[in-house]
Chain A
């Protein structure tokens, strides 16, 4: 048996994974791509399962703490569904091959953390420019540089938005539980395919490594979206002529459309045009297709906003501390609410603007030095005071820390 050693290794890995995702009870309808049932799963494993359920069939990545479990899970699971798992030589190769696979007509993704995410930025720009659907999971850790590989951070908010050069818009979602890691990974693929844009799942170390109950629904209950396809014959097809929602229908390689795709500024034919007016038209549409559809994209969760004059704004793992702080404050008779952002980019400007007019104080809770805070302050536009609870990474602010801030503000 030439592969017996490999097989034994593989079985050992399977055992480890089974501990990481213990099935509590199952339904009858389990299929290789949707493991319908109730599980104890980490956020990373749940995100991997979400990807497969969404139709992802190509993953290329490079090991990095704290996201490696996503790659490990997919290395086992993707071949089971006729998918492809490749561990590349670095993050640059990973994201580029993900784009190649996407143009090959396959839903594809990669997963990484801060340093790897930094390396991927140039190609995220290429994905935005060429309108390539792809999903990037960033399990955030403390930075800058190697920073805190094993500890939590939320410092990639602005890099996600502005990481590549030039003007572009992308979508970023942030889960706060393993269940949401599963759900939002599917949502990431759906948004990415619908708007032909790179979508980032902004997880954090705590959510990625947290084990909680995850319910995987039956396959029939999972809604998936595929990229818009051209309805005209090749000779009439213009690769970058906007269709519905300003998104051009996408012909992939080997479909007989003989496409040319370039990272250079291009016209509707996809041909390079080094001209200011072509640039303006293209970049405007790339941004508008996200900004003008922002209402359809943006998701958030409200808690106790009706009677509050202080509202916490948070996301990811920090939003769970914030929720605790709301409970503690309400026990003390202080009316506090919580706005949890699920969509980070495009930024929910409208929601913050109207909230600022409605309440006195907004407190932004995040594990970084005021990255989201400045966005909230910009949108509040002086209509409410904006405060910050946070640290540059390494620990999640506790509910008591947030409560102290609330009480301090109340005393003033």
Chain B
């Protein structure tokens, strides 16, 4: 019997870190693969590809990729990414993190990064709860859902992530699921190549923490739900893409507007003005 000694992703994954910590049925593995494949297919110089993750299940992704990667404090991958991006605009910086990290504890940063139009790509893996800590309620948990801290059902309405990002100024907003791997990969490619703040929400099954308390016992149950109930509508008004668990989910590319000046463009502009002025004041030649 012959075994393969190499994995097709070996050049981009830290094989010595395997096995990963993600549970059976989790979507993170396929989502990370989509990102890495997209990275290769865009032809971006891997030296300049940079990944920043926060804390949580998705936050562990940075530790498995063989590019410059940073695993920072809870909720803070976006400001860290801003520091990396503006100090060398050649860097292609991607934030890969979870819904709790990016929208609860780090919610303020994503709003302001979108407003500033920082040229980064944010991939937010939404598993509807805090998986790493055992399945607590989060800002994306659908109303009525059961988690370890909502034993009587979630009483709070959930966040509509694409709408939030679009309102704050993102130039590219899309939503996919871990089932729609090819479309997700194509979408990540577009976002990586687009200048400006790009946001992609990826819905993922979480059978071990979220699913089994909410009628999705196995990973495959949630995948079946994605297959049966997801409807692709490109360019739909983001106000209408809120998720109601069990009902139809709208996915697709919602926002893809013309590129506008990014934060770095403005920084470069004021640097020119400031230097001009300095030389007029002190310059001798």
Interface residues of A (CB under 8 A from B): 3, 7, 10, 30, 32, 57-58, 60, 76, 79-80, 82, 84, 86, 88-90, 92-94, 96-106, 108, 122-123, 126, 253-264, 271-272
Contacts and interface: CB of A to CB of B under 8 A. Distances in A.
Given A32-B275, A261-B69, A263-B73, A89 B83 contact: no
B83 A96 contact: yes
A44 to B, nearest CB: 20
Interface in B103-151: 108-109, 111-112
B196 to A, nearest CB: 17
B206 interface: no
Contacts of B83: 58, 60, 96-104, 108
Given A96-B80, A253-B50, A79 B273 contact: yes
B242 interface: no
Nearest to B60: A272
B175 interface: no
Interface stretch (B23-31, B87-95, B233-241, B245-253): B87-95
Given A96-B83, A100-B82, A101-B87, A32 B278 contact: yes
Contact of B91 (A92, A108, A253): A253
B151 to A, nearest CB: 30
A35 to B, nearest CB: 8
Contacts of A58: 83, 86-87
Interface of B: 14, 16-17, 46-48, 50, 52, 62-63, 65-73, 75-76, 78-84, 86-88, 90-91, 108-109, 111-112, 267, 270-271, 273-275, 277-278, 282
A272 B63 contact: yes
B274 A254 contact: no
Contacts of B52: 100
A219 to B, nearest CB: 14
Nearest to A126: B73
Interface of B, secondary structure class, is helix
Contacts of A90: 108
B63 A88 contact: no
Most chain A beta-carbon contacts within 10 A, residue among B47, B68, B86, B90: B68
Contact of B17 (A30, A123, A263, A271): A271
Contacts of B111: 89
A93 B87 CA distance: 16
A86 B66 contact: no
Given A260-B14, A260-B63, A261-B70, A84 B80 contact: no
Leading 8 A-B pairs by shortest Cβ distance: A100-B83, A104-B87, A79-B274, A101-B83, A97-B83, A262-B71, A100-B80, A93-B79
Nearest to B45: A254
24 contacts: A57-B87, A60-B79, A79-B271, A79-B275, A84-B86, A86-B82, A92-B75, A96-B79, A97-B79, A97-B82, A100-B52, A100-B84, A101-B83, A101-B87, A103-B84, A253-B88, A254-B47, A254-B90, A254-B91, A259-B68, A260-B62, A260-B69, A260-B70, A263-B73
Given A82-B271, A100-B82, A101-B86, A254 B72 contact: no
A258 B51 CA distance: 11
A97 B267 CA distance: 15
B110 to A, nearest CB: 10
B267 A254 contact: no
Given A89-B112, A98-B83, A271 B63 contact: yes
Interface of A, secondary structure class, is mixed
A180 B75 CA distance: 37
B87 A105 contact: yes
Most chain B beta-carbon contacts within 10 A, residue among A57, A103, A253: A253
A82 B275 contact: yes
A10 B281 CA distance: 14
A3 B274 CA distance: 13
Contacts of A89: 108-109, 111-112
Given A100-B80, A101-B84, A93 B112 contact: yes
A60 B79 CA distance: 10
Contacts of B79: 60, 88, 92-94, 96-97, 100
Most chain B beta-carbon contacts within 10 A, residue among A79, A88, A105, A123: A79
A122 B86 contact: no
Given A79-B273, A82-B271, A89-B112, A104 B70 contact: no
Contacts of A259: 68-69
Contact of A93 (B86, B108, B270): B108
Contact of B88 (A3, A98, A104): A104
Given A57-B87, A259-B68, A260-B69, 6 more contacts: A60-B79, A89-B108, A96-B72, A97-B80, A100-B83, A123-B76
B282 to A, nearest CB: 6
Contacts of B82: 86, 93, 97, 100
Contacts of B14: 260, 271
Contacts of A101: 83-84, 86-87
B80 to A, nearest CB: 4
Contacts of B47: 254-256
